[in-house]
A and B are shown apart, each in its own frame.
Chain A
Amino acid sequence: EAGVAQSPRYKIIEKRQSVAFWCNPISGHATLYWYQQILGQGPKLLIQFQNNGVVDDSQLPKDRFSAERLKGVDSTLKIQPAKLEDSAVYLCASSPGYGQPQHFGDGTRLSIL
């Protein structure tokens, strides 16, 4: 079974620039999650999709972050404009459904200069 795929693995940008991350979940997994993990902390949920609908985006800074999941499969997360405090690892995860384990990709490490 192929795991959760994310790209790019690393990204360095200057503040106020824009950036996008891509995630391909495990085939057949209906639920997709984007997390932000700041160094030394546990992951924090940014947005959760069930198929192509948003279930929870309560912690997504909507003035600068956006995400979409087209056709209920791949997803992209965008930041525009980036701030210094956005430096973190952005993790994508997927799960088959309610109460099932979440499976994570290797993440995208974002550095803001």
Chain B
Amino acid sequence: KQEVTQIPAALSVPEGENLVLNCSFTDSAIYNLQWFRQDPGKGLTSLLLIQSSQREQTSGRLNASLDKSSGRSTLYIAASQPGDSATYLCAAPVSGGYNKLIFGAGTRLAVHP
């Protein structure tokens, strides 16, 4: 059974800091892992999808890594900005499930000027 945990639950930092958000999953037989952003009152926006054959994926100031053997993924945000304030969720698929995702509870990020 796939379970996904995210640490920390909340984070408040000054603008400009580099951040690391952590995600752990119990079933390492995954074919990909996805990171999402959720703004208040909005749906989820896909940030990065890492295939199991990749170790990391980058988009602008975001970099996500995947270590299947340890059941961990990290999302690195460089030079944080107030506009990065949101909840970040990771999601791992269920083995044998057709693209069925299990989500963590998210990390609520606040970047203050």
Contacts of B45 in A (CB 8 A): 104
Interface residues contributed by chain B, number (CB under 8 Å): 24
User: Which secondary structure dominates where chain B touches chain A?
Assistant: strand
B63 at the binding interface (Cβ < 8 Å): no
B100 at the binding interface (Cβ < 8 Å): yes
Whether the pair B34, A101 counts as a contact (CB closer than 8 A) is: yes
- How many A-B pairs fall under 8 Å by CB? 61
Complex Cα gap A5–B45 (Å): 14
Per a CB cutoff under 8 Å, which of A4, A41, A44, A102 touches B99? A102
A42 at the binding interface (Cβ < 8 Å): yes
Whether the pair A4, B43 counts as a contact (CB closer than 8 A) is: yes
- B residues with a Cβ closer than 8 A to A are 4, 31-32, 34, 36, 41-46, 49, 51, 89, 91, 97-101, 103-106
- A residues with a Cβ closer than 8 A to B are 4, 6, 31, 40-45, 48, 50, 55-56, 91, 93, 95, 97-107, 109
